[in-house]
Each structure stands twice: as C-alpha cells, then as structure tokens.
Amino acid sequence: MIEDLNVARDAALADVAAAASLDDVAALDARLLGKKGELAAFKRQLGSLASVDERKAAGAAVNEALAAVSVALDERRAELAAAARSAAVESERLDLTEFTARPARGHAHVVTQAWERLEDVFIGLGYQVAEGPEVETDWFNFEALNMADGHPARGEFDTLFVDHVAPGGTPGHTLLRTHTSPVQIRAMQAMEPPIYIVAPGRVFRRDTPDATHMPVFHQIEGLVVDRGITMAHLAGTIEAFTKAFFGGNVESRLRPSYFPFTEPSAEFDIRRPNGDWLELGGCGMVHPAVLRAGGIDPEEYTGFAFGFGIDRMAVMRHQIADIRDMYTNDLRFVEQF
Ligand code: PHE
C-alpha cells in the first residue's frame, strides 16, 4: 500500500507543479486533499491492514503524503498569485515620467534679450542705466524737449492721452510717453554732468499694428552731457555701438535730419553685409533749450543724444519678417531665439 501511496503522492506533486492557474490549484486541492479525494482513499484502506504496527506506519505515511501535497499546493498558489500580481502591476502601470521630470527651463524673450545686450554694450562703454515713468506729463514728453504747445512735430507722435489730471495740472496733459526722450530731462535734473546714460523702456503710440509697427514698443535713449562734446563723439559712439552689437562687418552712417530737441540732428543707418542700408534711429547734439530745461548751462556743457527702437534691433538681428510675431506669445516662435 505504501508503494501505491508513494506513486499517488508523486503523481499528485507533479500535477501541482504543472498547475497553470489559481483555479487549477483550487481544483487540485479538492481532488487530492478533499474528504473524497485520492489521498483520503488511502486512509480508508488503513482499517484493512493486519497489524497495529503496519497501520501505524501506513497512517504516518498517508499523513506525510497529505502534508507534502498540501505544502506543494500552498507554494504553487503563492507562486501563481505573485505572478498574477506582477502581471496586473505591469498592465496597470502608468508612466509618470512627465510629472517627475524637471520642467523645461525657459529663457528671456527675444526683445528682452536685445534690451539686455544693448544695456551690456553701453555699460561696457561706461554708461549708466536710467529710467523714467511710462505715464508722463506733456511737459517732459514735449515741452521740455523744445516742442511747445502747437509745435507741428507733436502731431507726428500719435499720442495716447490718459484720463487723469495731475494736482494743479490741466486736463489733457497726462499721456503715455511717446518716446524715451523725456528721460533725458529727468536725468539732467537728477544728475550733475558728466552724464553718460542709456534709458531703455516701453513707449506708446496710437498706431494700428502692422508688420513694422506696434502701438506698444521699446526704445533705448542715450544721453551724454559733458564739457567739449562734439558731433564726432556722437558718430564715434554710434559706430562703436554698431560694431559691438551687430559685429565687425556692419557699418554705420549719419544722415542729416530734423528733431526739435537736437541741433544739428541726424538719422543713423547701418549697412548689413548684403549692402542694404537700414534706418535705426535718431540722434543729434542736444538743443540748448533742452539743456536749459534740464537745468544745465549750455554755455558750459554740450551733449549728444540718440534714440532707437529695441524691437527693430531684434527684428534686424534675427531677420524676423513681422514684428507682431514677437507679441503673439506663440511658443513655436518664441522658442526659436
Ligand atoms: N525721440 C526720437 C524718436 O522717438 C528719437 C531721438 C532721440 C532723436 C534722441 C534724437 C535724439 O523718434
């Protein structure tokens, strides 16, 4: 009987090892260990054995076989459960890399880059950076710059007025600055010569946006006031700045022009390697009336000033076709620079 038992036990263990699922294991458990199971059948045979010793030995063997099969079933169940768990984990897995990765690092806008590079160039030439308010008075924006009320040049600055009356002021005299030139006056009032400043900032004009105009744009103003300053200093400064900003193969030139606040006045152009001349901005020797408005004696000091568009510099540097693209916040555009 013990030999039969051993054969049955080995067969049972082989079946357990071959079980492919938890359902198989459950079925085997009932078939092998249940009251009416294959191994229980051996228990019923014990009574038919002749001697007590034989019964004892065979009883122990049956119990060992039952225990061995039971342990094998438990182990197989644990194996299959672990495999099922890892299969479930694998199939339900979520890729969270996107959320744990560090966010992409941004960078300064193309206009801010031009603004900062311009500041760097002039700081390198020994200039200080000055600032003025974006909401200005008529006096700083026009009057002090030699454009009295009714001056025809005022009409060329499509001015946006602000619905605000300064204490003791007159209605219609508060405006959004149309250029950075009022910072010339503020700097002269605040500092003693020698003055070497640049004033970058936002300016406003009542313009309809198109490929080359925006109602809000940026300028950088330069002002030098010192003893013995001449037009040659102005021309040399424009040339030095052009080379520093655009590179050695770009030239500059001055063209006679007119601004109420400079005399003589000029427009300055740069020549790109392809030979095209492009207008960059205005400049000239600070008008004596403007020095006086800034509290400076024109008999003692002279100076030059210049002003040009920062947005245009960015457009030229990167060959941007439409200035409006810089302000649509389209990342596909912005990320190129
Ligand atoms: N303020 C002038 C403009 O906006 C530019 C300029 C600045 C011209 C300084 C001469 C001197 O057009």
Supply the pLDDT for residue 34. 82
Q: Which of 64, 78, 58, 59 is nearest to 16 (CA)?
A: 78
In sequence order, the 6+-apart residues with CB closer than 8 A to the CB of 77 are 22, 25
CB of 181 within 6 A of ligand 1: the answer is: yes
Query: Which residue CA neighbors atom 9 of ligand 1 most closely?
Result: 306
CB of 201 within 6 A of ligand 1: the answer is: no
Residue 184 CA: nearest ligand 1 atom is 9
**Structural domain boundaries of the chain?**
2-93, 110-334
Instruction: For residue 56, name the pLDDT band (cuts at 50, 70, 90).
Output: confident
User: Count of H helices and E strands in the chain?
Assistant: 12, 9
CB of 184 within 6 A of ligand 1: the answer is: no
Q: What is the mean pLDDT of residues 94-121?
A: 86
CB of 294 within 6 A of ligand 1: the answer is: no
For 189-228, how does the pLDDT look when each residue is reduced to its tens digit (9 = 90+)?
999 999 999 999 999 999 999 998 999 999 999 999 999 9
Instruction: For residue 12, name the pLDDT band (cuts at 50, 70, 90).
Output: confident
Enter the tokens of residue 209: 């946006």
For 246-271, how does the pLDDT look when each residue is reduced to its tens digit (9 = 90+)?
888 888 999 999 999 999 999 999 88
CATH number for the domain running over 110-334: 3.30.930.10
Residue 100 has pLDDT above 70, yes or no: no
For 278-301, how does the pLDDT look when each residue is reduced to its tens digit (9 = 90+)?
888 999 999 999 999 999 999 999
Q: What is the Å distance from ligand 1's center to 261 Cα? A: 8
Enter the tokens of residue 91: 């199939």
Instruction: For residue 95, name the pLDDT band (cuts at 50, 70, 90).
Output: confident
202 residue type, one letter: R
CB of 141 within 6 A of ligand 1: the answer is: no
Enter the tokens of residue 299: 């008999």
